[in-house]
Chain A
Amino acid sequence: MFSLSRKDVTTLAIFSVIVLTMPIWLSPLGAAYPGLMQKFAIYAIFAIGFNILFGLTGYLSFGHAAFLGVGSYTAVWSFKLLSMDMIPALIFAVIFAGIFALFIGYFSLRRSGIYFSILTLAFAQMSYSLAYSVLTPITNGETGLLIARDDPRAIDALLGVNQTTSGMPTPSLLGFDLGGYGGFYICAVVSIAAFFLSQKIFASPFGMALRGIKSNQTRMKYTGFDTKPYMLTAFVISGMFAGLAGGLLAVTDPIAGAERMKWTESGNIVLMTILGGVGTLVGPVVGAWLIKYFENIFSAINVNMLNAFFDFLPEGMQAVMVTILSKFVGEGWHLTLGLMFVVIVVFLPGGLVEGTERLMRWLRRRSKERDEPTGQVASGRTGNE
């Protein structure tokens, strides 16, 4: 049940090491603080889940943020009503997101291609509007759902767990506090488990069937293969991953806001996946990290920091450099991201993973000192990377 191919084991081991050593290798990049590293791990889960749908079946869902939101709201309600422990919160988050995905998937999957994308987008925008204003008693609208000191918390009350020593109650795991690095390691372990699960799915006959649907659904149907249940299962699994990510967002930071379900967030996850490499195992994760890094670190660079950075240049040069670069950092971080996206989509359609592969191939060729012309190889999308 836990067996993997040798290649997958290596990938899993490397992935685990990279995720767990984040506090070390991210510190020169200025990103080694728990808040962002938690986001890295959580959005990795989100991207992995999205990739199971988009990468394997080719169905582009434009409403995945809705499941993230459902997961978050469920988790916060679990904190409010049941317990500050993360286990029930995550279980309910996954279940509710799964049910929600079943509902949306049932209707959306009746169409394919662009119509499917539009349907999911419509459902997601509907959920966003519901969360923003209609369902305010449940979601607390624009302000976001927060925990309060006097929430009932039935299980905690039953077990006599009292967290109100000082300040607000915080989420915990069997009594361990989940603030800061603790929260990060929990998220990291869950993301490694999610990565393992997606490896299993990619390697399974089920994953094979999904790839078949991607390459030619009509042919699959002619061979007597009912594709619908497979599609729906993939959609629900993908939604559950998103729900898990949403639940973890609430665990590390107990608030759920409607903005999490907005279409821009759904668009973000599509960007992450394409940036990293659609259909590859690690690609979406890399894409997620890159976008989160830009969003959090690049947007915080201001003119003062640039001035300090270019201090070594002569006066005039420093001013020129700072003026030019300041357009690309701080409030202009979207610009940098956009440029990078265009460059990657135009020159590396398979995303960063393909870029890395090309680089490796090139290096290998060079070392062999052979210069044969190479054909177009689309190996960036074959999976099992």
Chain B
Amino acid sequence: MSNRTLPRILQTPAVILLLIWMLVPLSMTLYFSFIRYVLNSSIRPEWMTPSLSNWRGFGNYKYVLDAKDFWFAIQNSVFIVTSILVITVVLGLGIAVLINKSFPGRGIVRVLLISPFFVMPAVNAVLWINMILDPVLGLQGIAVGGINNIIDGLRDFPVLGAFFNLWPTFEPISFRATQTSAYAVIMMVAWQWTPFAVLIFMTSLQSEDESQKEAATLDGASPWSQFINLTVPHLARPIAIVVMIQSIFHLSLYAEIEIVSRGSGNKNLPYLIGEFTNNNIGAASATGIFAVILANIIAIFLLRMVGKSLMD
């Protein structure tokens, strides 16, 4: 066997498997997006089987583009992803710089910090929405109740009491409404992914050129200007990578939305597709194609960036 054929044979199973995995379901989605196809219809039972005779052209796409839910889902997807990105990058940078120096117990701090990343998404959501954020039974409810009790107690004091009488009684926030449940999702996902950002920034910080920093110190540069002028440019690439990888993961966020927001009206693109899938497969497929396009735009940027460093 020649030098060329064998490597090809060795990578064939992987290529074929991924090719099938990518092409078969996606071409079905494409097909369904151009026909009328619903799961339940007593008036038009012929729409219940996928067939070319139910051709609808771009009708499903038009239907989706006209749906209020679609624009809300896009807006909300972008809002959730952007918020998570800003929080994780800012916190991640701060924490990575903080624990980059050696100090007692640094190994344990690292282990504690990275742990949230390994918690399965379903547990993450159940834990946060019930045991932490619940307005009555969760820690939030208990904490707000405790603060109110303390303020109530202080009201009985002679002089200070007048001051505390001006304070309102605090109301716990319900995280199950449309807007607040988006905040809850942002909070729990940021908690899970900040460790990831920290880990990547730390790895990158360790390869930073120390001699450059020493030279800057000798030239009298302040720690802040060193951070802005040396460290941040060095971190530009890992920041970009953290942003891109997270965009891809969070655009398809599902478990957290499903658990926290079911019925609250808070939805993102994958959740909307799930809702359409209950009946209107045509609309679900058209929405799916839009999601693919959105993901591709981001993927192109990521692949370009990662691609450069691939072969060296």
**Is B one of A's binding partners?**
no
